[in-house]
Amino acid sequence: MFQKTMIAVLAASSMLPLTQVQAADYIIDKEGQHAFIQFKISHLGFSYILGSFEDFSGNFSYDPDDLASSSVNVDVNVKSLNSNHAERDKHILNEDFLDASKYPTATFESTDFESTGEGEGKLTGELTLHGVTNEIIMDVTHIGGGEDPWGGYRDGFEGTTNLTLADYDIDMSKFPPVMRELELYVVFEGIRQ
């Protein structure tokens, strides 16, 4: 549920100074399966439903000398939701919840980044989901960066945030209050271009 949200996390690259001296552009390595958009929501207060969005794309820019200019953009194919239960996925994707036929894409576009310590920060951006756009703040952490075995350069980040589903006009009023908020977790590894 989160698309340029999710990702989101990449602007986090603005958190750590690297040895590079110019802004760099990165492509999120979805093809290599080094990026994930996952969610966790309570199931009636008894357990959790865990899932992911498996089809997304995005990029980020990082300038260690001008952290405020770093940015991230992510597009998510909402229909790629997978909670490891086909009938439940169909239900989540129908008009009762995500209405993926009407709103097939979720997006995230960063607007600001604030460092909160070495390798950590808060990434602010606009998340559009279910046809509604809201500002979200994601806690991000730099995982690591450096040269890869194929002659490229990579940086990786993780981020978390909680989403109140009613903020996106997703009606959870028939369910216990504990099911009305969702935890979003993203991991992005980017390949420098």
Q: Residue 27 — pLDDT band, cuts 50, 70, 90?
A: very high
Task: Tell which residue, 27, 12, 41, has the closest CA to residue 138.
Answer: 12
Q: Are 145 and 153 in contact (CB under 8 A)?
A: yes
Q: How far is residue 156's CA from residue 29's CA, in Å, rounded to a whole number?
A: 10
Kindly report, residue by residue over 49-75, the tens digit of the pLDDT.
999 999 999 999 876 667 677 789 999
pLDDT at 18 over 80: no
pLDDT at position 16 is: 40
Q: How far is residue 39's CA from residue 17's CA, in Å, rounded to a whole number?
A: 30
Q: Choose between 167 and 13: higher pLDDT.
A: 167
Q: How far is residue 1's CA from residue 28's CA, in Å, rounded to a whole number?
A: 17
Runs of H (alpha helix) within 8-85: none
Q: Residue 17 — pLDDT band, cuts 50, 70, 90?
A: very low
Q: How far is residue 174's CA from residue 180's CA, in Å, rounded to a whole number?
A: 10
Specify the residue for token string 């070495």: 118
Q: Residue 2 — pLDDT band, cuts 50, 70, 90?
A: very low
Amino acid identity, position 25: D
pLDDT at 8 over 70: no
Burial class (CB in 10 A: 0-12, 13-18, 19+), 189: buried
**CB neighbourhood size of 132 (10 A):** 12
Q: Model pTM?
A: 0.85
Q: How far is residue 156's CA from residue 146's CA, in Å, rounded to a whole number?
A: 9
Kindly report, residue by residue over 132-143, the tens digit of the pLDDT.
999 999 999 989
Kindly report, residue by residue over 106-132, the tens digit of the pLDDT.
999 999 988 888 888 899 999 999 999
Specify the residue for token string 């009613």: 166
pLDDT at position 95 is: 96
What value does the mean pLDDT of the chain take? 88
Q: Give residue 45's region: left, alpha or beta (phi > 0; psi -120 to 50).
A: left
pLDDT at position 130 is: 98
